[in-house]
Homo-oligomer: A and B are copies of this chain.
Amino acid sequence: MSDRGRGTKSELGVGEVARRSGVAVSTLHFYESKGLIRSWRSAGNQRRYARDVLRRIGIIRVAQRAGVPLTKIRESLDTLPDGRTPDREDWARLSACWRDDLDRRIGELVGLRDRLEGCIGCGCLSMKCCPLYNADDKAGEQGVGACYLEPR
């Protein structure tokens, strides 16, 4: 009998990793092709993973949900010596960095929401000063438009 699902093995097959991590097998292949995770092969050419690949995948998903693109995640993971899965300090560093990103994006959205609020209340839709968009001639003269909500 196989010990699939018993968690006693020190190496995992792709199906088991998929099941435990919640990502599809095809996604694991894809991550591997992008250098985000690693595996070695069994005698029959099947992928084998160390258990800590689950941690790595967890980290990848967390970062993704925080809006970090895969290339950046890969870069971050690549900064770790010998490509190991992050220990506590590494994790603190990585997540702090991603959190800055997250903070920035939250800030942007909150700012946007507030301006949205303001404009709902003020009914300035047709005004020249509307902070949500600018359809007046000033914008034309400046050669820019709708710039208030799209700074930078």
B145 contacts A22, CB within 8 Å? yes
- C-alpha spacing A141/B8, complex, angstroms: 12
- The residue of chain B having its C-beta at the shortest distance from the C-beta of A136 within the complex is B7
B106 contacts A65, CB within 8 Å? no
**A16 within 8 A of partner (CB):** yes
When all copies of this chain in the complex are counted, the total is 2
- C-alpha spacing A132/B147, complex, angstroms: 38
**A40 within 8 A of partner (CB):** no
Contacts A21-B145, A95-B116 given; indicate if A58 touches B135 (C-beta within 8 A): yes
Contacts A140-B20, A141-B5 given; indicate if A146 touches B96 (C-beta within 8 A): no
- C-alpha spacing A145/B54, complex, angstroms: 8
Contacts A109-B102, A143-B19 given; indicate if A133 touches B59 (C-beta within 8 A): yes
Point out the residues of chain B lying under 8 angstroms from A99, CB to CB.
113, 116-117, 120
Contacts A19-B143, A140-B20 given; indicate if A135 touches B62 (C-beta within 8 A): no
